[in-house]
Chains A and B, each alone.
Chain A
């Protein structure tokens, strides 16, 4: 079955710096790659997603890139702010309405 690996497990940056989180997936049939943000004690919430027919997508300070050949995708956060501090999860899915398989999560800490 699908396997998603996420790195790093923890990431600490200074406010204003950029943060990059990387994920790899195993099933070449995967076609949907969302990113979720989870604040302490809260539910995961979708922040951005990308489909396999697109190489890059941006939403203000957040961008996601996808390399289908290498089977990896990345989350880029620019101009980080303390409120970006949270756990971020990548995920992969290969079917409409199909299950999402998540990476292990990255705990991002943005220091003022």
Chain B
């Protein structure tokens, strides 16, 4: 049981390049999330998906797109990376029926130069 798995773990991008962060969970959770973590800013929600087929904006959605491919997978895309998107990205999931306990992946360290 791997829990929440996200790839890649580390990535360096040039300004303007695009990339997709992949996330998959094997806990049969309905809800999935993408957060970014910056020093002194805590964890800020980028996008979330309360169920397969739905996605909603979080606190900081600008510059990102998401796809809930199926119940297991939730990807985050940066269409044109900017240095301000240098951050640690965490994918997470939760089982709505158990009351919002969120489980995080190991994180993806992204640097945009």
Contacts and interface: CB of A to CB of B under 8 A. Distances in A.
Contacts of B50: 97-98
A89 B105 CA distance: 16
Contacts of A51: 99
A100 B102 contact: yes
Nearest to A41: B107
A48 B45 CA distance: 21
A48 to B, nearest CB: 11
Nearest to B35: A102
B94 interface: yes
Interface stretch (B11-19, B36-44, B68-76): B36-44
Contacts of A89: 42-43
A44 B101 CA distance: 12
A85 interface: no
Contacts of A104: 40-42
A45 B101 CA distance: 10
A44 to B, nearest CB: 5
B11 to A, nearest CB: 16
B51 A97 contact: yes
Contact of A43 (B42, B95, B106): B106
Interface of B: 30-31, 33, 35, 40-45, 48, 50-51, 56, 58-59, 90, 94-97, 99-107
23 contacts: A1-B59, A9-B40, A42-B106, A43-B90, A43-B105, A43-B106, A44-B90, A46-B101, A46-B103, A51-B99, A89-B42, A96-B96, A97-B94, A97-B96, A97-B100, A98-B31, A98-B50, A98-B100, A99-B48, A100-B33, A101-B59, A102-B44, A104-B40
Q: Sorted from nearest, which 3 A-B pairs have the closest CB atoms?
A: A97-B96, A104-B42, A43-B104
